[in-house]
Amino acid sequence: MKEGLAIGVDIGGGSIRVGVYNVKGVELRKAVSPTPKNLNNDSFLNTLKTTISAVWENNESYTGIGVGSPGPLDNERGIFIASANMKGINNVPIKDFLEREFKIPCSYENDANCAALGEAYFGNFQSASSLLILTLGTGLGGGFVEAGKLYSGYLGNGIEIGHTTAVFDGRLCGCGQRGCVEAYFSTEAFKGSYLEKTGTQLKDAKEFFERLDANDPIAFEILKFGTLALAHAVRGAIHLLNPEAVVFVGGITNAYNHFGADLESRIRSLIFPILNDRLKIGVGSGFSGSLGAAGLVFSKRGIRNG
């Protein structure tokens, strides 16, 4: 019997991804399901159960299930309250549901917090004493780990860097407020800004960056301002948290060659010069969000890689 395994669940606006991992971060099995189109609590929980069941084997011993999702959420009670990018979700009791269905402990955190733990445990920057993680995807999230411990804030809603203000009374964000950084640098931001400026609806971030490859001046303008907004948000976070490393993860990092050098240069020019002596900035390991969620299971039980 294999022991000490963790099931990691990464909940996103487009899909639910599940993986089984050992303590070294090796993925043994995985399953992916699309997030239900007619999204409500019941359809969501049914899909979650089905996807986990696809990787479950009765002859294995599981330490627990780790779940990461967008917020806001309540990590103490294990409730997925809502999400700007998952309309139809309303106070879903994830922890109680999974513990009842699978009879093992469930830990639940914001997906960016899970990504931060995953990088701290398994990633390129695991030797750093403290890491600020930014997830660049459908939205824009953040997480912070110091000395191997996650700072999650009240009920798991800390380090919401995507919902700090970039432009006073600016573009409408999915959270309902205006001017958030997420409204300028995220997949939804790029698509929405491009639609506003051109009348053309892009399918995804990949199509947006293809416009950049074709030297589209509108796409270039959108990315340039978004990068500036993100750099200032990171500056503020660095001055508050003083991390040893700032690590970018998520789907948009696949196009890091389009903005990475500009972003890093802007960040370094904006922060206190002395901080540049120690600060590392770069792209994370590119592992799945479900591994980060599995890292949550291991961290809760004091288990480290190797």
The domain spans of the chain are 5-114+288-300, 126-283
Domains 5-114+288-300 and 126-283 share a fold: yes
Q: For residue 154, with 0-12 CB atoms within 10 Å meaning exposed, 13-18 middle and 19 or more buried, which class applies?
A: exposed
User: Tell me, which fold does domain 126-283 have in CATH?
Assistant: Nucleotidyltransferase; domain 5 (3.30.420)
Mean pLDDT computed over 101-121: 90
Looking at residue 251, its amino acid is: G
* Distance of alpha carbon 163 from alpha carbon 120, whole angstroms: 23
CATH of 5-114+288-300, picked from 3.30.420.40, 1.20.120.1200, 3.40.190.10, 1.10.3720.10, is 3.30.420.40
pLDDT above 70 for 231: yes
Query: Is the separation of the CB atoms in 283 and 115 below 8 Å?
Result: no
Mean pLDDT computed over 252-277: 97
Closest by CA position to 21, among listed 292, 237, 285, 302: 292
Query: Is the separation of the CB atoms in 2 and 58 below 8 Å?
Result: no
Q: Where residue 304 falls among pLDDT bands split at 50, 70, 90?
A: low
DSSP bridge partners of 110: 69
* Distance of alpha carbon 180 from alpha carbon 164, whole angstroms: 5
Please report the pLDDT score of residue 269 as a whole number: 98
- Virtual torsion, Cα 281, 120, 145, 84, nearest 10 deg: 80
Q: Where residue 305 falls among pLDDT bands split at 50, 70, 90?
A: low
